[in-house]
Amino acid sequence: MPNNRNTKKRILTGDRPTGPLHIGHYAGSLENRVKLQDKYDCFFIIADYQYLTDGLKQTEHIEEYTREVVLDWLSVGMDPEKATFFIQSQIPEIAELTMIFSMMVTLARLHRNPTVKDEFKTSGLHAMSYGFLGYPVSQAADILVVRSHLVPVGDDNMPHVEQTREIARSFNSIFGEVFPVPEGLVGETARLPGLNGQKMSKSMNNAIYLKDTTEEVNQKVSMAITDPARIKATDTGHPDICNIFKYHLAFNKPEARDIEKRCRQGKIGCVACKQNAAAVINAFLDPIREKRAEYQAKPGIIKNALQAGIERTLEKSRETVRLVREAMHFEYEDLLNGKNIIAG
């Protein structure tokens, strides 16, 4: 099949390099990316500058964490032959656009971003840096540097997509049409809760990782919090407030409805239900584990994916910045060519 990347609409999305990805990432976005990469020209970013918002003093593992993310991407079927993988800091044009866009956003507007507020609360930091408050502007630059049309994200990132749309419109209205106004695309699967019912995240220590072993998954699932209103196995259960039921919905579709019914009737206990959940999660992870081991043994694949991806992103980003400078009258052609434009 001919490579018709250039006629496809573009997508940009990605992850912070916080280390290995978990099943929440999979259900919330990775699964969707694997489908989207066939239909769209996809750019997948590893947002290392964004990691600095709360990871400024923990950069010693950034390279290892980036490797983990790429390994997870490859293992779930994100394909560097179809899509473009790149690292944010390797694209200087993102920093340039961030500078320009920062002039188009008020402080009051940044302070209204609910996700930034939440993340600051859970970050444990005492004071918010300029870059933390402003990271949605840098994320707008991630998205707009490739002039992306679509941005598949979790609902927590929708405020950033809205911010990006405002910036694109603002730029276009001041300087003329350069950017598409990108659409956000929220996946169908509701966010998977962590093992304790809170948002699944590394910092909460409540995540099942794609690289976890069978034993780790069994152990974690057996310790998970289920329906707090249920004491005995014969009590009637409430699947709608049970974390494990959410895992059944995401990874055990054929059986989920039946389990729901039996739980409500008190006909399946939490222990059996958890064992079932652990088994389906393990069955889902097995092929991913296998691929991960293969890719881990061939570091050249990661290197090639990133090298080609960065190169390809640079082509697009340089073109974008050329268009931006042209639109802004920031080319300085006469001045830099020694032409005297004063008449006479």
Q: Which of residues 12-41 bind ligand TRP (CB under 6 A)?
A: 12-16
Strands 41-46 and 183-186: unpaired
Tell me phi and psi for residue 270, to 5 degrees: -65, -35
| CA–CA separation, 91 and 42 (whole Å) | 16
Residue of 47, 74, 110, 268 that binds ligand TRP (CB under 6 A): 47
Binding segment for ligand TRP (CB under 6 A), chosen from 135-143, 211-219, 234-242, 326-334, is 135-143
Out of 75, 139, 163, 320, the only residue in the binding site for ligand TRP (CB under 6 A) is 139
Rounded to whole angstroms, the Cα distance separating 60 from 140 reads 26
Using the rule CB under 6 A, is 144 a contact of ligand TRP?
no
Q: How far apart are CA 103 and CA 212, in angstroms?
A: 44
SS3 82: coil
Q: 83: phi > 0 → left, psi -120 to 50 → alpha, else beta; which?
A: beta
Q: How far is CA 273 from the centre of its chain?
A: 30
Q: Quick check: 153 binds ligand TRP (CB under 6 A)? A: yes
With respect to ligand TRP, which residue has the nearer C-beta, 152 or 269?
152
Instruction: Choose, by CB under 6 A, the member of 70, 94, 146, 151 that binds ligand TRP.
Output: 151
Nearest approach, Cβ of 14 to ligand TRP (angstroms)?
A: 5
72 binds ligand TRP (CB under 6 A): no
Name beta bridge partners: 184. 151
Smallest gap from Cβ 339 to ligand TRP, in A, equals: 40
Least distance (Å) between residue 174 CB and ligand TRP: 23
* Other Cβ atoms closer than 10 A to 232: 8
Nearer to ligand TRP, 82 or 202 (CB): 202
**Rounded Cα–Cα distance for residues 332 and 340 (Å):** 12
Among 11, 21, 42, 45, binds ligand TRP (CB under 6 A): 45
Sign of dihedral through CA atoms 125, 130, 133, 136?
A: negative
Nearer to ligand TRP, 98 or 139 (CB): 139
Q: Where does this chain bind ligand TRP (CB under 6 A)?
A: 12-16, 45, 47, 50, 139, 142-143, 151, 153, 157
